[in-house]
Amino acid sequence: METLEAYQEGKVLLIDKPLNWTSFQVVNKIRWLIKQQFGIKKIKVGHAGTLDPLATGLLILCTGKFTKKIETYQAQVKEYTGTITLGTTTPSYDLETEVDQTFDISGITEEDIQDNTKHFIGEIQQQPPIFSALKKEGKRLYEYAREGEKVEIPKRTITISEFEITKIDLPNVEFRAVCSKGTYIRSLAHDFGKTLNNGAHLSALRRTKIGEFSVEDALGVLEFEEAFKEN
C-alpha cells in the first residue's frame, strides 16, 4: 500500500490527460485525491510540461520532493501523434478558434505532402502561436490575442528529429513527430500548410512519449482515482 511518506518523499505519476481537461485541472484533481486520502491540508504536486486542453496523452506529474525534478523531465525529447487539416487556418492554429481562411487543396498531391516534411527536420526556427501562454512584457500572448492586439513574437530555435506522415485522407494528414522542448505542434501544423502554399491547422494531438516515459504506461484520471482508492 502506498503511504503518505512515499508521496511526500516524491513520486512520478504518469497520467493520460483526457480531452478538454487543462493540465492544471489534472494536477488539482490528483492533489485533491492525495489530500483526501491521507487527510492532509497540503502536498506539492506539479506537472512537467503543459498539454493544451484539446490535446490528450502523457502528462508527467511529480509529488513532494520530486517536484524539484520537473525541469529535468521538461527538457526531455517528446513524441506526438496527431492530425493536420489542410485547406483551412485558424488564429490559434488549432480548433480553439474558428476557421478564418480557406484554401483550395485540389492541386496538392500525396507526394507534395510527403516531400514537405523535409522542411521541418533538424534544427529550425519556429514562431510560437499568438494563442499561447508565453509571456511578453509580463503579459500572456493569448491575452494580447483576445484583446485583438498585434504583437511581435520572436522565433525560437527548436529541433525536430523525426517527422513522418502516417496517413493521408485529405483534407486530413496524420503524422508522428519527435521534437525538442519548446516545440509548438500547432505552429508546425500552421507552417506545414504555408510551405505547401496553402493553409492548415492542427485538428488532433496526442503526446505519446516524454524521454523514456510512454503513454502506454499511463493511467487515465478516473483509472488513477480507482487504483489510488483501492490501494
Alpha carbons 134 and 52: distance in angstroms, whole number? 13
Average pLDDT of the residues in 160-189: 97
Secondary structure letter of residue 80 according to DSSP:
E
pLDDT at residue 132 is higher than 80: no
120 backbone φψ class: left, alpha, beta (φ>0; ψ -120 to 50): alpha
Fold observed for domain 4-75+213-230 = Pseudouridine synthase (3.30.2350)
Q: Is residue 100 annotated as part of the catalytic site, yes or no?
A: no
Query: Among residues 52, 112, 115, 191, which one is catalytic?
Result: 52
> Where does the chain hold its CATH 3.30.2350.10 domain(s)?
4-75+213-230, 78-210
pLDDT reading at 2 higher than 90: no
Q: Does residue 202 carry a pLDDT above 70?
A: yes
Residue 128: predicted pLDDT: 87
Task: State how far the Cα of 69 lies from the Cα of 181, in Å rounded to an integer.
Answer: 15
78-210 homologous superfamily: Pseudouridine synthase (3.30.2350.10)
> Can you read off the three cell numbers belonging to residue 11?
513520486
Q: Strands 135-136 and 139-140: what pairing?
A: antiparallel
Q: For the chain, what's the residue count?
A: 231
